[in-house]
Structure 1
Amino acid sequence: MKITAAVLDCIGHTGGLAATKPLSLDALDLAAPRAGELLVRIEAAGVCHSDLSVINGDRPRPMPMALGHEAVGTVEALGDQADTLFKVGDRVVLAFLPACGECVRCVSGEGYMCPNGAAANGKGELLGGGFRLSRDGCDVHHHLGVSAFASHAVVDRRSAVRIDADIPAEVAALFGCAVLTGVGAVLNSAALRVGESVAIYGLGGVGLAALLGGVAGGGNPISVIDPVAEKRALALELGAAAAFAPGEEDGIAAPDLVVETVGKAAVLERAYALARRGGRVVTVGLPNPTERFSIPAVSLVGDGKTIIGSYLGSSIPARDIPRYIALWRAGRLPVERLLSSVSPLAEINALFDTLAAGRAVRQVVIP
């Protein structure tokens, strides 16, 4: 079938994306889903810094690639008519790592570390192998098994989690990445305990989701650090006890847990220095691969601190998305407050300029 998708042909674009338009809205051919796959009509997709990291080259990926990885949609066709988990008409949130369910990591409960899913994502293929997207007879790579900046997508069924039909599309989309990553970093990776103090660096979609997770998990007090005054004000409304601009965080009493979401090695170093002796530092940001993190080696023993890398918020999407939606329904996870704007897909390049400038939390596009 013919679809429209936002395609990136080369990496390394920085600044002025609204004018240079590195993402082009192209007519692509989308092959029918194979066994174990779903054809999904995309309802809404979030604009995430992980997409921007591909555009600017911080996260190199094979080109050309149809971007977008945080989305909600409706199943329109099954690759296997005997599928008992999904049916046509199901509403699904799409997650950006399809765990195979069979490797050692998956059967050990660590599907977020699935090497098969990671390998497929790195090659820009679906978990079942190969491509379902093409342009003028040439393959187009998939972004993280989803490629959601499009009218439709074919995804592995292991990238999809069924949800109820009544959740607004612009809210539901955020559960696929921002909420899984941010809330999961606090509740899963860090295993926050009630009453522990928390500090969070960075108040984008993931950082503010981490704040929501910290509040829901009983963290107290929670402090946040971000250069944008409007984001600091929003964080205070969402339950932060104090908000600081970078460089002012020396006023924070050394917290039990520090969460770094910025994706800069220098910020991770500051996060490590801020944590109390015996404290934990969880990092979810994705720095440029050339960046290096430096700490006094003796401090790992002398201060007894723990550094935890958190991918996908150490989440199991089929388990955690329903849990987080239940918290949202109970009013304990106000995900809708993360939404900055809802725009047509045609504005995608300008939206990345807004994201890069730090002026948005989570923008959503409607194909």
Structure 2
Amino acid sequence: MAPSKMRAAQVVEYNKPYQLCERPTPKCGDHALLIEVHAAGFCHSDLQVLHGQFPAQLPLIPSHEPAGKIVQVGSQVQGPWKVGDRVGVLNFKNACKTCVGCRQHLRRKNCTDPRFCQNREMAGFKHDGAFAQYMLADPDTTVHLPEKVSFEQGAPLMCAGATVWGALQKLKPDVKAGETVAIVGIGGLGQLGVQFAKAMGYRTVAIDNRAEGRKLSMEVSEKLKPDLVVDSSAPDAGDKILDFTSGEGLAGIVVCTDSIQANAWSLEQLGNGGVMVPVGLPKDKWQFDSSALVFRELTIRGVYVSGTVDVEEMLKSVAEHAITSHITALEFDEIPDLISKYTDKAMKGRLVVKIK
């Protein structure tokens, strides 16, 4: 049984450091899972939460990238869940099953999906998340974590991995294995994106205007390294991509940065019929060349974080191909100093807090 009290970190005031505290352990309802959190990731969205870009009632326990073990299963929970299971937990939970979003998804997919529910809960954004010893999870958005995947590696997959995996799935069916796909912006998402793209059979180009990002793209196993690394700020960047693709341009491109300039440049690198999936969310609107879009019949495709089915497929690929993130692990007591570490220019990869 879980103790009545737990350690947690919370946002008490926007733009102020996280505060360590003691909170009551959440009660496991009949339809929920109680998770003992072993590791929790820090995402750029968490910084936005701290800055108040997603207004919520404070105090709030942040982080939406948890991995841990089930310690209690609600009496009405259906499915293959038992105490001791190693799991990861996705952000959205508790679909109402009656709103427009739920009804549309039920009609189209024969199931509800909390990602599109108008009344969904958002752990780490609007509701308590993973910077705590325990958290509640929705069985519909919980996934089993393969034994080969550590908790520290599993945590970033619940958002960073799920997001860039979903973006690559959006290239289908237009972009086939063997064609050339680029990942722009090599940080926590981009490094995973390069490895996913290689595992999916694409010729893969890693693109970043930072030397740190280009170096990070190569810090993976030999079979998952990109086929070409490009400095997007170099005058000949476009020429290198054309040379690599025999003058055709890219078949697909996934952009893991919110830079408006980088997104506009990325669209220009596509060949006829190419597909672009932007992942970053800029404060201002994207700006794309309408001529390129029309006369080359390009597609810009939106993507949300992956749902449960796609994440389960992602985890199989992670285990099969030994895909990893560059991790900087912090202890729980270091959470108040986390932002300074995250914003350090020398920082690369993902920050993960070891909760247990």
| TM-score, normalising length: structure 1 | 0.81
Question: Contact conserved, 1:94 with 1:146, CA < 8 A, in 2?
Answer: no
Corresponding position of 2:258: 263
Give a deviation string over 1:322-344, Cα, whole Å, max 9, x none: 322322332x2522xx1322211
1:3 is displaced (CA, Å) by: 1.8
Give a deviation string over 1:289-328, Cα, whole Å, max 9, x none: xx1112243443222111111111xx332x2333223223
Secondary structure of 2:92's match? Answer: coil
Q: State yes or no: 1:302 paired with 2:295.
A: yes
CA distance in 1: counterparts of 2:136 and 2:206, whole angstroms: 38
Between 1:197-206 and 1:165-174, the stretch displaced more is 165-174
Corresponding position of 1:115: 116
Secondary structure of 1:276's match? Answer: strand
> What amino acid is the match of 2:149?
I
Among 189, 195, 208, the residue aligned to 2:178: 195
> What amino acid is the match of 1:105?
H
Q: How does 1:162-311 map to 2 (within 5 A)?
A: 162-165=144-147, 167-186=149-168, 188-191=169-172, 192-220=175-203, 222-236=204-218, 237=220, 238-248=224-234, 249-250=237-238, 251-253=240-242, 254-288=249-283, 291-311=284-304
Question: Contact conserved, 2:26 with 2:134, CA < 8 A, in 1?
Answer: no
Corresponding position of 2:343: 356
What is the number of equivalent residue pairs in this alignment?
330
CA distance in 1: counterparts of 2:209 and 2:294, whole angstroms: 32
Give a deviation string over 1:17-56, Cα, whole Å, max 9, x none: xxxx521112122331222111110011111111112123
> What amino acid is the match of 2:307?
I
Secondary structure of 1:171's match? Answer: helix
CA distance in 2: counterparts of 1:304 and 1:166, whole angstroms: 42
CA distance in 1: counterparts of 2:18 and 2:299, whole angstroms: 40
Secondary structure of 1:295's match? Answer: coil
CA distance in 2: counterparts of 1:304 and 1:259, whole angstroms: 17
Secondary structure of 1:211's match? Answer: helix
> What amino acid is the match of 2:296?
D
Secondary structure of 1:285's match? Answer: coil
CA distance in 1: counterparts of 2:285 and 2:253, whole angstroms: 19
1:82 is displaced (CA, Å) by: 5.7
Q: State yes or no: 1:63 paired with 2:58.
A: yes
1:170 is displaced (CA, Å) by: 1.0
Question: Contact conserved, 1:146 with 1:155, CA < 8 A, in 2?
Answer: no
Among 141, 151, 154, the residue aligned to 2:136: 154
Q: 1:355 to 1:84 in 2, by over 3 A?
A: same
CA distance in 1: counterparts of 2:184 and 2:94, whole angstroms: 29
CA distance in 2: counterparts of 1:210 and 1:309, whole angstroms: 16
1:111 is displaced (CA, Å) by: 6.2
Question: Contact conserved, 1:197 with 1:256, CA < 8 A, in 2?
Answer: yes
CA distance in 1: counterparts of 2:85 and 2:254, whole angstroms: 35
Corresponding position of 1:134: none
| TM-score, normalising length: structure 2 | 0.83
Corresponding position of 1:325: 315
Secondary structure of 1:52's match? Answer: helix
1:58 is displaced (CA, Å) by: 4.5
CA distance in 2: counterparts of 1:111 and 1:211, whole angstroms: 31
1:266 is displaced (CA, Å) by: 2.6
Give a deviation string over 1:104-139, Cα, whole Å, max 9, x none: 2255249668431x5424xx5x7xxxxxxxxxxxxx
> What amino acid is the match of 1:43?
H
Q: Which runs of 5+ in 1 are unaligned?
A: 14-20, 127-141
CA distance in 1: counterparts of 2:32 and 2:335, whole angstroms: 27
1:144 is displaced (CA, Å) by: 6.3
Q: 1:145 to 1:105 in 2, by over 3 A?
A: farther
Q: 1:106 to 1:362 in 2, by over 3 A?
A: farther
Q: 1:190 to 1:38 in 2, by over 3 A?
A: same
Q: 1:233 to 1:82 in 2, by over 3 A?
A: closer
- Alignment RMSD (CA, Å): 2.6
Q: Which runs of 5+ in 2 are unaligned?
A: 243-248
> What amino acid is the match of 2:348?
A
> What amino acid is the match of 1:258?
I
CA distance in 2: counterparts of 1:61 and 1:120, whole angstroms: 14
